[in-house]
Amino acid sequence: MKRILVLSLFNIFFIIQSASAQFERGYADLVDELLPSVVSIATSQTVERQTRQLPELPEGHPFNDMFDDFFGNQMPKRENLTGLGSGFIISDEGYVVTNNHVISGADQITVIFNNGIDEVPAELVGTDPKTDIAVLKIDPSTVDIQSVNWGDSDLSRVGDIVLAIGNPLGLGGTVTSGIISSINRDIGGGPYVDFIQTDAPINRGNSGGPLFNLDGEVIGVNTAIYSPSGGSVGIGFAIPSELAKNIVNQLQDYGKTIRGWLGVRIQSVTPDLAESLGLDKPYGALVASTIPGSPAEKAGIQAGDIVLDFDNKEVTEMRKLPRFVADSKVDKPVNVVVWRNEKKITLKVVIAEMKEQEVAQLEKQKEKEIAEEGDISDLGIKVSAITDEIRLRQNIPDEVYGLLVTGVSQNSDAEIKGIRPGDIIQEVDRMPVRKIKEFQRIISDVKKKRKGVLLLVNRQGNIIFTAVKFNN
């Protein structure tokens, strides 16, 4: 027994010693393998600038003729602007990944290898500004190339060690290390990207370079830093590989990105909204409106539905839905689970291709009625019917229906929730309203069952749901 224990302790000691030795060696062997695959990106762009720096004189001033005779009609001066960034090779065919902002507007793009010798011109294959991804192509016959493999960013965890390699401040082949500080980080970069946050030091010029795990796989594309000073403060952001890989594949195949389109306007589900809709917790994406003719409308998705699941992926929060939809294949039927009338409903939606010019075209609904006013005392608001005269005076489009808010009681929940004069209440408890008696009747029914009511509000064209509690 003692012998077994001694042997076990010896094994543990050996493992610790081996790990310690590995730590002392650092990442040199791994970096040696990766460096040939990471490149610097140099760009140049020709711009025109006016060179004549002369005082502006009134028309007819005698000096104008003298200046024209002496200087003549000077032509704009051409200047060459240069830029630097990073990239990495992903295939033996010579495809290179970088950021869109690294090569945007460039007339010439050059890929520079870390051996300090090889420089080759690059052709732009395609870009996706929405995710800041670009794909370049170099001729593999002109230089020896070595590619890297994509890793699965979805397997990454906070605390994982990562390496960043790139060309910060023109210092090509720079390697830094750190950990993953956060995942699924929203930094206001649009609806399609949740970033990996890392404390591996990156600076200007690192953009487009790879973020590696310790298996030597690319799990992110370094894209941005947070820095009050302009230098690294240990807060960097990378596009996850699972997103980048999909975008890169599309750019290679089609030269552009093809995104799925559902055709809904959505908002977050607040605790008040969840309670008003009978949901046990605030999650999902609340549909404020659907676009006429869209896949959502054709499938029967309605305003007031909460999207809980899209194509077997749980919509834990509103910003998840645009990403899920965008990643969907066009013309593919998917199951969408929505919460409606306090139960789950599964709808089948055929996803369409997102067009750049998708614009909502609302069906025109014109309603003529007497300008009656009413006091909805249970909510602390006053409303008025919308007449032609009010439409003209308030500049309300013909297609907009509902009741115009003309007053809000101080310290009421309606005031706290931001309801204000000029708002148009279009629905009450998921039911359209055009007359004050309809509004009052619905409020009376809802008050018997709940502490508040769900309102659909049109505020200068912005459609939002809000839950307002009844006055005591």
Give catalytic residues, as residue numbers: 101, 132, 207
Q: Count CB-CB contacts under 10 A for residue 55.
A: 7
Distance CA 243, CA 152 (A): 10
Other Cβ atoms less than 10 A from the Cβ of 447: the count is: 14
Q: Which of 251, 246, 194 has the alpha carbon at shortest distance from 223?
A: 194
What lies within 8 Å, CB to CB, of 94 at 6+ separation is: 137, 138, 139, 140, 145
